[in-house]
Chains A and B, each alone.
Chain A
Amino acid sequence: MMKYEAVIGLEVHAQMLTESKIFCGCSTKFGSGPNSQTCPVCIGMPGVLPVLNRKALEFTIRTGLAMNCKISSYSRFARKNYFYPDLPKGYQISQYELPICEHGHIEIIIDGEKRRIGITRIHMEEDAGKNIHEGSGNYSFVDLNRAGVPLMEIVSEPDIRTPGEASEYMKKLRTILRYLGVCDGNMEQGSLRCDANVSIRPVGRKEFGTRAEVKNINSFKFVEKALEYEIKRQVKVIEEGGKIIQETRLWDSNRGITESMRGKEEAHDYRYFPEPDLVPIMATEDWINEIKASLPELPDAKMERFITVYGLPEYDADLLTSERATADWFEDAVKAGGQAKAVSNWMMGEMTKLLNDENKTLEECLLRPEHLVEMIRLIDDGTISGKIAKIVFEEMYRTGKSAGEIVREKGLTQISDTGAIEKAVEEVIAKSPKEVERFREGDEKLMSFFVGQVMKATKGKANPQMVNELLKKKLAG
């Protein structure tokens, strides 16, 4: 049977985190009353003119630099013409022939191997409003709050071969955008959107197959699902002797399928032409260098540093650097005197678990890095046991109190007094003659039973090492 491989290119739209819209002064805040953030410019009234928000340009250049793009010193806006009620001017101001960023790439890790995915271009454009279909009448509503919110369109080369790679690419893109502070990367709220161009070809063939564009992939978890479905669909069509047609398909997440939206014949003719209301964009070398100098350390570089400087395994370094806030938190803890691997273990273990359980982000977390460091010190000096530490950790997480305070308040200090532990050990042995007999007959697994009983008697505060030693001694009889 013929083996196929997929060829995938992604077009990602990222809403920029600017305060105001791309061509007027209206606020970009999400969730305000319908049409409350509009003005004659973003409503497309007669005679008004766009003026470029310099911040949007700066954000796009930042992103281009972070993704290894060439920044054009001369770039233009173009009009993309089509009619739709959420597009007040009847055209979208976008970039076409001369985008601001071109020829870049990012790296993803697939099965421990680095893969380079090319970035064809990154350009600026304005978002459209929203049509709202509700109520029983024969009408719809239009909300133009989103009209004119700045977008970056990030177009990849057709370098992606599997749905898994596509998903990793999206995650990496999101991480970089969030590091740069140019987009919040929220796919569910629509601030990050993904369209995919998908085709298949027999393994080994160089030419691309006919591609379908899959739209409306509106969640991270659907990136893989939608692509898996589409690839299977195309393989099936070919194997049944059919042909793939060039078309736009819509991902339906409820039914888990893609459906044809429009064919090539119905494709819009957008009649692109240079936007005459805006002058060409001249980005000077000085300005580009200034932006370059202001870039934060990016995830790849940070990960390398975490491995070399802190001696972390690649796995830890990758996870800790996936969010800038997480990486900063880690480094704050290390600066406060924490041992890197210990801090990493607590962050990737208990902390991640607690955050995930409550669906919270690190920014919302009360736990302070220096508190974690203090707690680790309490473990190291034997004040608390590792088991008790989990209780202390959760308490720190919930209350924001320091480890010492919690240990004091709750009386959680470890018992390292030989007399007290010896007493507890003797009591347990006295209460469990049968188990003692079986143990002495060779059932060594019962050791954990005795340890558990002693810990129970001491409310978990007994120094586990001492408990073990004393039990061994006493049981040996």
Chain B
Amino acid sequence: MELHTLGIAELRGLLDRKEVSVRDVVDSVYRRIDAVEDRVRAFVTLTREKALESAAGAQKMIDENRSLPLSGIPMAIKDNMCTKGIRTTCSSRILSNFVPPYESTVTSGLLAQGYILIGKTNLDEFAMGSSTENSGFHTTKNPWDIERIPGGSSGGSTAAVAADECIASLGSDTGGSIRQPASLCGVVGLKPTYGRVSRFGLVAFASSLDQIGPITKNVRDSAILMNVISGLDPRDSTSAQVKAPDFTSVLGRNIKGLKIGIPKEYFIEGMDAAVDSSVRAAIKQIESLGAIPVEVSLPHTGYAVAAYYLLATSEASSNLARYDGVKYGFRAPGKDLLDMYMNTRAQGFGAEVKRRIMLGTYALSSGYYDAYYLKAQQVRTLIKQDFEKAFNQVDVIVTPTAPTAAFKLGEKTSDPLQMYLSDIFTISVNLAGVPGISIPCGFTSNNLPIGLQIIGKHFDEETILKVSYAYEQSTEWHKRKPDL
């Protein structure tokens, strides 16, 4: 049996019944990495030695019949979540030597539940991008076709899961950075409600939009990880005082009579025909399980991308000011303070990060604030209200995750606006703060995965997991593996 191909739930059974050892699992994962990583390039850092140490500890717990939900489960973490004593780079030259002296709240939670860190995964620098081509180190390849991008910014995490280089991973999602690459890599990616998961230790891109979520091989694993990472964190004032339920308890419940909203604004021209037909087929499938489709309208959808690129860049321009060469990270010498600042930031940041810092700086500057930042905030409120109104009629909203399947390396790098449109279906969800999941719902004729996005009400991840699980169990898409 190829242990690295399994999910969390299956491995939990095998490990707890002592049919396999943690070492077997970890070795299997690293053998897989050795075999495919030079083609996929999902990782920035591998933590082999530490993983073997953790494996021994996890095995001990299992042997003593004290296993925890993640005891012995090898996972990969997007390299914008701080891991104590382990380099955390955000795939940026400016943090290429940064080793945090603290652990993010999410990874502390995973550690407390016995997980094994396999490595830190590649991303678009500071999570700014939709293809991992903006990584300061290298581009990750889509395991389904290594001529293509995996999506982004969590492309390393989704590619690692799709290529079975880990059992599951964590990503972060500011405008689609979990869901879009999950869609393009054929895995399950969930962006929780804003405030559901602590952001402490997540290197900020846009604080009011960033949210950490699980990337998994199936829906059950997503629920298992949600149980571990959700909840109030006193170190994050924006984490919500909402009690997290057992997300696995709703899996398997039927979805009869559930109202499924289909927003007409999300079925647009320019969308891949294969995406359109797969998503429509998926909706039919969900309908056949007893759910009721309802057409809804999210009228301000057309303004989402513009509002997003003002708000996210404004926050980013401030969040990234701390990388100044003074305290940690990369420093380029200069003849005086200003010169050092300018050299450090000119050499330390890549082109897309600089573009966004400039955009955000402009949007916040005196005389422009009202026209850009403030206006965008008003649009954000309207988009939030769109969802509130729609959710008065329906329980979930179903859309495509991305307008296309994975595109070719370099295809959109010269046109940032084309690249920004990759997130056209995911961005509104971040602006509204609601949860959204992407699950596999088909393949193009080139055998490239297509994702279905299911959006829920605030703090109602349970319903989107329930629908996702019901759909997944009635299809075979999630069982397909790339031929690497």
Interface segment among A45-53, A60-68, A211-219, A336-344: the answer is A45-53
Q: Is the CB of B365 within 8 A of A46?
A: no
CA distance A43 to B322 in the complex (A): 10
Q: Which residues of A contact B320 (CB under 8 A)?
A: 90
| Per-position binary interface string of chain B over residues 53-87, scored 1 when its CB falls under 8 Å from any chain A CB and 0 otherwise | 00000000000000000000000000011100000
**Cα–Cα, bound, A47→B198 (Å):** 11
State the majority secondary structure of interface residues on B.
loop
Given A51-B235, A85-B337, A279-B237, A46-B203 contact (CB < 8 Å):
yes
Question: How far is B361's CA from A88's CA once the two chains are assembled, in angstroms?
Answer: 18
A208 at the A/B interface (Cβ < 8 Å)?
no
B136 nearest CB across to chain A (Å): 14
Residue A263, interface by CB 8 Å: no
| Residue of B whose beta carbon sits closest to that of A142 | B326
B199-216 near A? 1/0 per residue, CB < 8 Å = 111111011100000000
Residues in A63-92 with C-beta less than 8 Å from chain B: 79, 81, 83, 85, 88-91
Asked if A296 lies at the interface with its beta carbon under 8 angstroms from chain B, I say no
Provide the residues of chain B in CB contact with A279, threshold 8 Å.
Answer: 237-238
Contact code string B96-123 (vs A, CB < 8 Å = 1, else 0): 0010111010000000000000000000
Known A-B contacts A47-B81, A83-B321, A271-B366; A277 and B237 likewise in contact (beta carbons under 8 Å): yes
Contact of A48 among B200, B238, B323 (CB under 8 A): B200
Q: In chain A, residues 260-277, which have Cβ atoms closer than 8 Å to a Cβ of chain B?
A: 269, 271-273, 276-277
* A46 engages B321 (CB within 8 Å): no
Q: How many of chain A's residues have a CB under 8 angstroms from any CB in B? A: 28
Question: Please, which residues of chain A bring their CB within 8 A of the CB of B324?
Answer: 83, 85, 90
CB distance from B206 to the nearest CB of A (A): 8
Q: Report Cα–Cα, A47/B208, bound state, in Å.
A: 13
Number of residues from B at the complex interface, CB < 8 A: 45
The answer to whether B321 and A273 touch across the interface, beta carbons within 8 angstroms, is no
State how many angstroms separate the Cβ of A428 from the closest Cβ of chain B: 80
Among A45, A271, A272, chain B packs the most CB atoms within 10 A around the CB of A271
Are B238 and A273 in contact, with the CB atoms below 8 A?
no
A48 partner residues in chain B, CB cutoff 8 A: 102, 200-201
Shortest Cβ gap from A455 to chain B (Å): 72
Q: B80 to chain A: which residues have CB within 8 Å? A: 47
Contacts of B326 in A (CB 8 A): 85, 88, 142
Taking a contact as CB atoms closer than 8 A, the residue among A43, A52, A89, A276 that contacts B208 in the complex is: A276
Contacts of B321 in A (CB 8 A): 81, 83, 89-91
Check if A44 is an interface residue, CB within 8 A of chain B: yes
- Point out the residues of chain A lying under 8 angstroms from B98, CB to CB: 46
Q: When A49-B200, A85-B326 are in contact, do A40 and B207 touch as well, CB less than 8 Å?
A: no
Q: What 0/1 pattern do residues 332 to 346 of B give for CB contact below 8 A with A?
A: 000001000100000
Verify if A278 is at the interface (C-beta below 8 Å from B): yes
What are 17 contact pairs spanning A and B, CB under 8 A? Answer: A44-B327, A45-B100, A45-B101, A45-B328, A79-B318, A85-B337, A89-B321, A90-B320, A90-B322, A269-B365, A271-B318, A271-B361, A273-B314, A273-B315, A273-B369, A276-B206, A277-B207
With contacts A47-B203, A49-B235, A90-B320 known, what are 20 further pairs, Cβ within 8 A? A43-B327, A45-B322, A46-B88, A47-B81, A47-B82, A47-B202, A48-B102, A49-B199, A50-B237, A52-B237, A81-B317, A81-B318, A83-B341, A89-B322, A142-B326, A142-B327, A271-B365, A271-B366, A272-B364, A279-B238
Interface residues of B (CB under 8 A from A): 80-82, 88, 90, 95, 98, 100-102, 104, 199-204, 206-208, 234-238, 314-315, 317-318, 320-324, 326-328, 337, 341, 361, 364-366, 369, 373
